[in-house]
Structure 1
């Protein structure tokens, strides 16, 4: 009992970097910065990669009640670039020491628009040095895609290829949502889209959100049995790939039905200790932030301490632009 208590205390003493946190929800609404900072303190989250959401949900004229989530009814989603300016203003209103806790990612990009790269460049040049990453970019994304008008966005379409060139120029990591399959197919149906992006942009640091999974995929298929061997192959082949272990991967992949770490996944994490990061993927509501991040505790406790520290904290910071990493080191020395 004493050893279990000590283990639990050590887990909660570990600082986390949340590598995937949305400041707003699908209606571009948020609990706000005071609530977020309080939740980060409670969860021992030292820093967070914070981003908006590049789409907004319509409250349709025919709907008597405002939906609570993008899947709440059949009304459409639309691309929404102002999400970045709301985030920019929220961060700039903070005290300097509070601002340092956030790693802002620019996300308001229409993944089907070949003008997106030009819009992105202008936004980056308007606020030099502010944005430290790009994403979460929405490409193929089950019901989100289904509710969008126009063509299905793909990780390897021409518009995204132009965005990756800007990312490389500014040394910005790219967090991208690109489903590996559909809700019905038990094979990596859409893998080619992500692989082409990786292979044709070796200088870009890609973070694959949820390793290509989503809540909707799991609702229909539960576990994708091909996923772990696939990740092992991709990590061996592409040095520019990092896997975002956000909440959809906790179950049924990292933990079994009893809440115990799965040995084969632990082996993969130990084989590539610098290639995984953690994320909560909360969307504008922060009351469950700490609990979400600490669901990873059983996995981290089963890993060697240096591997756990890398995945929980160090790996994400190592993906940032060199200028941002230098600022981090100076801040730590102060």
Structure 2
């Protein structure tokens, strides 16, 4: 009888712990602790900011540093890439900074974060070596790479040196390294060019999915579904006298998620700039909800907040999406906000730890 009581008590504790683990609003698959001049909250301050409302957070800085060129802006010190015409450059120390912030936490606190490697130049053939070097320098820390950028409105032209490309062998080498090590990939790549005219195929879509299909053993999250501040959803090109009709944004994503050649590809709906498109009309909300309900295992939520000043700022994107959350099936909402994150990041962490153990000095 005593053993049965003990067993019952332990089962109760297990259910209670499970309930506590689920008693939060979301896991954040896309968060920048620091900004374009490598400033932001300390990780413990960030933990205090989010409290118990958030479960786990994919933690990264920003791999690009904004130059303060006195000849360009004088005494004005730019903190954002739109505040200066001076170039951006890759800032590799961001990886050490993120690792040291993470290592300052208690073991319990560490379970709240999944740090990511970002401080590499994706057009550099040595970038893959940097990634492995970071893993071995900080074993037990990193789960993936990213968010890193290939094509991004206003940012790509400002980056000093060679322009990144989806067809560059350096990117293939990075993806092969992630397949080898188990690292998860979060990549920013605009689906189209800014101010693209309707009636044409999205410029970068085909290159992106071709890259994904070349690396079937690499788990890839396409950040923001390829959208941006002015890279708006691809429009339907129906019209009189048009001999060709190209798919619109929803159709492209549905086509991609339906294709087994891209089964290693996932999308996140992070960033308030993306949310503004999705919630702009009832039709967009309904269409997005229909798509996510059809593919509940392939979409993740993230905030894409950069160095938040307060909790209101941090929670803003989640609140913006409330009309969308209301349209999702309960089980779909649970996967998008929590389950997909845990499944993908846990799988990657297990593989990365095994690779580190096998390759340690």
* TM-score, scaled relative to structure 1: 0.87
1:6 maps to none
Structure 1 range deviating more: 209-218 or 225-234: 209-218
> 2:128 aligns to what?
117
1:50 aligns with 2:72: no
Q: Verify: 1:274 aligned to 2:288, yes or no.
A: no
Aligned with residue 343 of structure 2, among 305, 309, 318: 318
108, 133, 138: which one aligns with 1:97: 108
Shift of 1:13: 5.9
Distance 1:286 1:242, change over 3 A: farther
Q: State which of 169, 182, 193 in structure 1 corresponds to 2:207.
A: 193
CA offset digits 1:129-152 (Å, max 9, x no partner)? 321111111111121111112332
The aligned counterpart of 1:75 is 86
State the match for 2:250 in structure 1.
228
Q: Say whether residues 1:126 and 2:126 are aligned partners.
A: no
1:180 aligned onto 2:191 = yes
RMSD (Å) for aligned C-alpha atoms: 2.1
Separation in 2, partners of 1:291, 1:113: 36
**Using the alignment, how far apart are the partners of 2:229 and 2:32 within structure 1?**
16
Say which one has the larger Rg. 2
Encode CA deviations 1:67-107: one digit per residue, 9 max, x unaligned.
13111110110011110111111111122211111111111
Change in CA separation of 1:136 and 1:197 when aligned onto 2, cut-off 3 Å: same
The number of aligned residues is: 309
Who is 1:246 aligned against?
Answer: 270
What CA distance in whole angstroms lies between the structure 2 residues aligned with 1:99 and 1:256?
37
Give unpaired runs (5+ residues) of structure 1.
1-11, 327-334
Q: CA deviation at 1:263?
A: 1.4
Of stretches 58-67 and 292-301 in structure 1, the one that deviates more from structure 2 is 292-301
Q: Which runs of 5+ in 2 are unaligned?
A: 1-21, 236-247, 352-361
Deviation, 1:192, is 2.5
Q: Does the CA-based 8 Å contact 1:25-1:285 persist in structure 2?
A: no
Name the counterpart of 1:329: none
What displacement does 1:182 show? 0.8
Contact 1:154 1:193 in 2 (8 A): no
Whether the aligned pair in 2 keeps the contact of 1:261 and 1:302 (CA below 8 Å) is no
Instruction: Map Cα deviations across residues 29-88 of structure 1 (whole Å, 9 max, x no partner).
Output: 11222331122227x111100111111000112222011311111011001111011111
Partners in 2 of 1:224 and 1:251 — Cα distance?
15
Q: Contact 2:194/2:230 (CA < 8 Å) preserved in 1? A: yes
Match of 1:206 in 2: 220
Distance (Å, rounded) in 2 between the aligned partners of 1:193 and 1:81: 27
Distance 1:170 1:325 in 2: 10
- Could you say which residue in structure 1 is the equivalent of 2:19? none
- Name 1:297's counterpart in structure 2: 322
Q: Does 1:169 align with 2:192?
A: no
Matched, 1:308 2:317: no
**What whole-Å deviation, never above 9, does each CA across 1:296-322 have from its counterpart, x for those lacking one?**
222122211111000001101211253
Q: Deviations over 1:198-230 (max 9, x none)?
A: 110011111001111111424xxxx43221111
Aligned to 2:17: none
TM-score normalised according to structure 2 size: 0.81
* Contact 2:144/2:348 (8 A) holds in 1: no
2:53 is the counterpart of 1:30: no
